[in-house]
Amino acid sequence: MTDITATTPARAVPDNTAPQEDAATILRRKEKRMAAVFLAPTVIGLGLFVVVPIIASVVLAFFRWDVITSPKWAGLDNFHSLFSDPTLRSAFANTIFFVVTTVILQLAVALGLAVLVQGIMPRWLQSTLRSVFFFPIILSAASVSIIMSYLFNQQFGLVNTYLNDLGLGSIPWFTNGFSAQVMIILIYVWQNFGFTFLLFLGGLASIPRDVYEASSIDGATGWRQFRHITLPLLSPTTLVASVMAIISALQIFDQPYVITQGGPGNSTETVVMVIYQDAFGQLQFGTASAIGVLLTIVIMLVTALQFRLSRRFVYYS
């Protein structure tokens, strides 16, 4: 008789050797997912309204396209035509003139007022002036330009009305080429210097008072302190302010377009105005894109040159 012994399968033993996630790891993973959810709208918005238009503009610069017909390959023809365009040369000359004058005035006015406000005025007045000087920049450039065009209108403007009452006669603020350029520059500087003013205020506040006290003991006061202490220690702020001011001035559009439409003649026509007219006035989107690419390259080169020169003129304490 054969002895048959029934065997039962062995019970599976749980494997405890696999690493278990701790609570901190799970929490970090949830935080990353939540951060991705909150960042998604911004990333998608930047992609759709910034990255995609930039890529499309660069691609379109190599085509001829009038919106009505399909795009046609043009290669470098759009760029070649730019260098023989007298209107674009005049616009670049006007833009460079605007950039040089507005940036110098903007930095000088902002720095002078910042030193004045930070140095000798009481705190309550400092706060008031910060708001007053910053207020114009929050206004729409188009609305400011419309108001200024009415105030300085040669026929019925409020300024010329008072000048006539005083027997001084009317001044052709916007009907003379040079005076129109001067007025555009002054209006632009008035509206935009407030941000630079706040930058300089922050830079002045970061300079240690001990440096001024030590220089006073050595007999340095007034202009000598400003020349040998304030300006060198304020150079990082000046670099940031000048870079932002130049980039903004190279793209000036609203003031000359609304007030003078580029006139009289072409005295106030800028590069961005030419881009607008080529694209939406003549439906030459390929040429307009090529000008935009050229302007972008100019901005990048100027900015790179500024940072290159900053190695010699910027001092970090």
Average pLDDT for runs of 10 along the chain of length 317: 48 51 81 91 93 92 90 90 90 95 95 85 79 90 92 89 88 90 94 92 86 79 82 90 94 93 90 94 92 94 92 79
Phi first, then psi, for residue 73 (nearest 5°) are -65, 130
Please tell me whether residue 72 adopts helix, strand or coil conformation.
strand
pLDDT score of 184: 95
pLDDT score of 246: 95
Contact in structure between 163 and 171 (CB atoms under 8 Å): yes
The predicted-structure confidence for 182-219, as pLDDT tens digits, reads as follows 999 999 999 999 999 999 998 888 888 888 878 888 77
Domain spanning 79-313: which superfamily? Answer: MetI-like (1.10.3720.10)
The Cα–Cα gap between 63 and 55 comes to 13
Tokens found for residue 179? 């005076």
Q: Could you tell me where the DSSP H helices lie in the chain?
A: 23-46, 52-60, 77-82, 86-120, 123-134, 141-151, 158-165, 177-205, 209-217, 223-225, 231-233, 235-250, 254-259, 271-276, 285-313
For tokens 């006015």, name the residue.
Answer: 109
Please tell me whether residue 64 adopts helix, strand or coil conformation.
strand
Domain boundaries, the chain: 25-60, 79-313
DSSP letter at 68 equals S
pLDDT score of 19: 52
pLDDT score of 18: 44
Please tell me whether residue 25 adopts helix, strand or coil conformation.
helix
The Cα–Cα gap between 139 and 123 comes to 26
Sequence letter at residue 188: Y
Residue 195 burial (CB count, 10 A): 19
Sequence letter at residue 96: I
pLDDT score of 1: 43
Contact in structure between 289 and 60 (CB atoms under 8 Å): yes
Please choose, from the candidates 156, 180, 148, 187, the residue with its C-alpha nearest in 3D space to the C-alpha of residue 265.
180
pLDDT score of 245: 95
Q: Helix 158-165 and helix 141-151: axis angle, to 10°?
A: 20
Residue 166 burial (CB count, 10 A): 8
